[in-house]
């Protein structure tokens, strides 16, 4: 037995995981079934496309709505409102009109949002009574209260943790986590609030492919995305081609827009049945996501989603300010340590010992877990380092041939939690002072993920009478992880 399939609907049996980054997620040709989507032509507001389980929600099939005036679905009063000129600029990103608790059929009550679109008007109606919080707040008042609960956090990490706890308290999701994008587009979970009995994703790292490029572009465009039930069956948009534009409907700004089948399968594999994502944007770029997961179907009313969207915007702005404040404080601290070490070098005859014995010392400056110096045959170490009994060759800090004529000096940093052989990293052009790490060609990591400007200091340790080129330390390696968090 065969059935005809709508060309806009992708089916699980047809999934090609290698094409994830090429999926046309803006034009899926279908919607999620917890509501109805109507496309109205601009002049007479007749329905030219319809999608959703209209037979269950309205008592008539979706295809029978096409060609009907909008009054046939929304009623005369709402239809009259749509014919008034909009008070603001027409944009598909923001609703032009909102209707709460509109009864469209006996016993069937909906929240309705209407947006402008190149095809005319797009009407989205979401049925009430779905599992989820009953909260229908004033968005501004709720966000003010949520942000007020974050004010005691004085570091970025504490601020992020307070944010996920606040979002979980308001929305009721089983798990809320803050997923931060790293420079290579991989991601890391930096904060998490979760219900008892579910595992933690805290500090796990995930590959860049978990969130493909076109999905990140939509996260920049849409501050919030909700999937109330990942086990749904897509409802096709009829007809598939919009008669006004002659193309498939761009649903980039539609809350009911159907989800990538690959992502739905991905959520099911994780044991997640409902999901919501809120964008964190800094400087016009996607900094991260507040990702929410639930083990059962979970829906948020449009008014609560509006509050969450506004919270994400306010959180993004304040996080940027807190990070800038911490960066400034960190720079001042490193300047103080640098000045102290310069003073130590001016009065100490035994540099290797002097740079480690005093506090703050070289270990404070490089922000590593261990530092070792080999200067003029003297070995000095602090923190987690190889023992002196291992001998210079085994410690990996013996002087190189001809790197520093007449003197034998090396310095190293260790960013790993246990002693091990140190491997020198030799900069281009040579030099007698090198950062060392756990693997050849790789500098030791730091717990902050960044390094102070060590070049001037280490050059002065090595050669106080002449300058030598010295490469900046590489970023510390990330902990690997499996799976994803979107």
Query: What DSSP assignment string belongs to 412-480?
Result: EEE-SSS----EE-PPTT--S---EESSTT-PPP-SSS-----HHHHHHHH-TTS----PPPPPPPPPP
Residue 383 confidence class, pLDDT cut points 50, 70, 90: confident
Cα separation, 55 vs 131, whole angstroms: 21
For the chain, the straight-line distance linking the first and the last C-alpha, in angstroms and rounded, comes to 37
Cα separation, 272 vs 72, whole angstroms: 37
pLDDT at 480: 32
432: pLDDT strictly greater than 50: no
pLDDT at 387: 64
466: pLDDT strictly greater than 60: no
Report, as an integer, the average pLDDT of 254-280.
94
pTM of the predicted model as reported, rounded to 2 decimal places: 0.71
Q: What is the mean pLDDT of the chain?
A: 78
Residue whose entry in the numeric block shows the structure tokens 């090198």: 434
Is the Cβ–Cβ distance between 373 and 361 less than 8 Å? no
* Strand duo 47-52 + 97-105: pairing: unpaired
pLDDT at 386: 65
SS3 content of the chain, % helix, strand, coil (to 5): 30, 25, 45
Cα separation, 175 vs 194, whole angstroms: 4
Taking each helix axis from N to C end, the angle separating 302-347 and 455-462, rounded to the nearest 10 degrees, works out to: 20
- ∠ CA 473-398-443, rounded to 5°: 20
> How distant is the alpha carbon of residue 320 from its chain centre?
14
Cα separation values, 52 from 42, 75, 231, Å: 21, 18, 16
Give the containing element (helix H, strand E) for 165: helix 156-171
Q: Percent of the chain at pLDDT above 70?
A: 74
Report, as an integer, the average pLDDT of 223-247.
97
39: pLDDT strictly greater than 90: yes
Of the two residues 20 and 165, the one the predictor is more confident about is 165
pLDDT at 354: 74
Cα separation values, 14 from 9, 17, 25, 216, 262, Å: 10, 10, 15, 24, 10
Cα separation, 331 vs 458, whole angstroms: 18
DSSP type of residue 97 = E
Is the Cβ–Cβ distance between 123 and 37 less than 8 Å? yes
Q: Where are the beta strands (DSSP E) in 12-107?
A: 30-31, 35-40, 47-52, 97-105
List b or e across 379-397, with b for residues whose CB sees 16 or more CB atoms inside 10 angstroms: bbbbbbbbeeebebeebbb
**Cα-atom radius of gyration of the chain, to the nearest Å?**
30
pLDDT at 393: 44
pLDDT at 404: 31
Report, as an integer, the average pLDDT of 316-343.
85
Tokens of residue 411, six digits: 């310095």
Of the two residues 142 and 441, the one the predictor is more confident about is 142
Report, as an integer, the average pLDDT of 305-313.
96
Report, as an integer, the average pLDDT of 402-422.
36
Of the two residues 425 and 229, the one the predictor is more confident about is 229
Is the Cβ–Cβ distance between 371 and 359 less than 8 Å? no
Paired strand residues for 188: 180, 205
pLDDT at 349: 74
Residue 353 confidence class, pLDDT cut points 50, 70, 90: confident
Taking each helix axis from N to C end, the angle separating 139-148 and 156-171, rounded to the nearest 10 degrees, works out to: 140
Report, as an integer, the average pLDDT of 28-56.
97
pLDDT at 443: 35
Residue 92 confidence class, pLDDT cut points 50, 70, 90: low
- Dihedral angle sign, alpha carbons of residues 19, 25, 29, 33: positive
Short-list 292, 174, 143, CA closest to 225: 292
Residue 479 confidence class, pLDDT cut points 50, 70, 90: very low
pLDDT at 379: 78
Cα separation, 82 vs 97, whole angstroms: 8
Is the Cβ–Cβ distance between 367 and 361 less than 8 Å? no
Tokens of residue 349, six digits: 């005859």
Is the Cβ–Cβ distance between 181 and 462 less than 8 Å? no
pLDDT at 103: 96
What is the three-class DSSP state of 410? strand
Cα separation, 262 vs 6, whole angstroms: 18
49: pLDDT strictly greater than 90: yes
Cα separation, 17 vs 454, whole angstroms: 44
279: pLDDT strictly greater than 90: yes
Cα separation, 386 vs 394, whole angstroms: 9
Of the two residues 367 and 317, the one the predictor is more confident about is 317
Cα separation, 363 vs 371, whole angstroms: 6
Paired strand residues for 279: 289
Report, as an integer, the average pLDDT of 138-167.
94
46: pLDDT strictly greater than 60: yes
């Amino acid at each position: 037995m065969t059935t005809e399939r709508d060309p806009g609907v992708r089916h699980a049996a047809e999934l090609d995981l290698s094409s994830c980054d090429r999926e046309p997620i803006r034009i899926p040709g279908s919607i999620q079934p917890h509501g109805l989507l109507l496309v109205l032509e601009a002049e007479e507001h007749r329905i030219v496309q319809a999608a959703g389980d209209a037979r269950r929600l309205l008592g008539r099939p979706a295809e029978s709505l096409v060609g009907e005036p909008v009054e046939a679905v929304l009623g005369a009063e709402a239809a009259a409102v749509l014919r008034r000129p909009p008070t603001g600029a027409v944009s598909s990103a923001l609703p032009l009109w909102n209707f709460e608790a509109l009864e469209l059929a006996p016993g069937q009550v909906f929240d309705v949002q209407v947006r402008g679109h190149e095809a005319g008007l797009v009407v989205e109606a979401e049925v009430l009574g779905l599992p989820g919080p009953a909260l229908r707040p004033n968005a501004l008042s709720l966000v003010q209260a949520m942000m007020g609960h974050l004010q005691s956090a004085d570091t970025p990490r504490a601020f992020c943790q307070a944010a996920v706890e606040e979002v979980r308290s308001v929305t009721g999701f089983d798990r809320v986590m803050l997923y931060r994008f790293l420079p290579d587009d991989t991601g890391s979970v930096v904060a998490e609030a979760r219900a008892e009995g579910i595992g933690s994703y805290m500090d796990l790292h995930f590959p860049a492919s978990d969130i493909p490029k076109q999905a990140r572009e939509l996260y920049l465009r849409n501050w919030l995305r909700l999937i109330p039930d990942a086990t749904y069956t897509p409802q096709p948009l009829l007809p598939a081609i919009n008669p006004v534009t002659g193309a498939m409907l761009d649903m980039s700004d539609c809350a009911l827009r159907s989800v990538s089948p690959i992502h739905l399968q991905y959520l099911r594999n994780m044991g997640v049945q409902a999901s919501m994502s809120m964008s964190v944007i800094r400087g016009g770029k996607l900094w991260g996501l507040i990702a929410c997961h639930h083990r059962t179907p979970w829906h948020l009313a449009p008014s609560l989603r509006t509050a969450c969207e506004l919270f994400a915007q306010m959180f993004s702005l304040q996080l940027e300010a807190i990070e800038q404040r911490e960066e400034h404080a960190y720079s001042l601290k490193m300047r103080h340590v640098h000045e102290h070490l310069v003073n130590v070098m001016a009065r100490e005859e035994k540099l290797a010992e002097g740079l480690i014995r005093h506090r703050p010392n070289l270990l404070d400056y490089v922000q590593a877990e261990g530092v070792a110096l080999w200067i003029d045959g003297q070995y000095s170490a602090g923190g987690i380092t190889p023992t002196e009994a291992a001998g210079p060759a085994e410690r990996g800090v013996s002087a190189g041939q001809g790197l520093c004529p007449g003197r034998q000096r090396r310095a190293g940093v260790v960013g790993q939690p246990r002693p091990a052989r140190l491997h020198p990293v030799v900069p281009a052009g040579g030099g007698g002072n090198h950062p060392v790490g756990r693997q050849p060609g790789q500098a030791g990591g730091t717990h902050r993920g960044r390094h102070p400007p060590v070049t001037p200091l280490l050059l002065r340790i090595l050669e106080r009478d002449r300058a030598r080129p010295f490469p900046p330390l590489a970023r510390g390696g990330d902990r690997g992880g499996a799976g994803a968090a979107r």
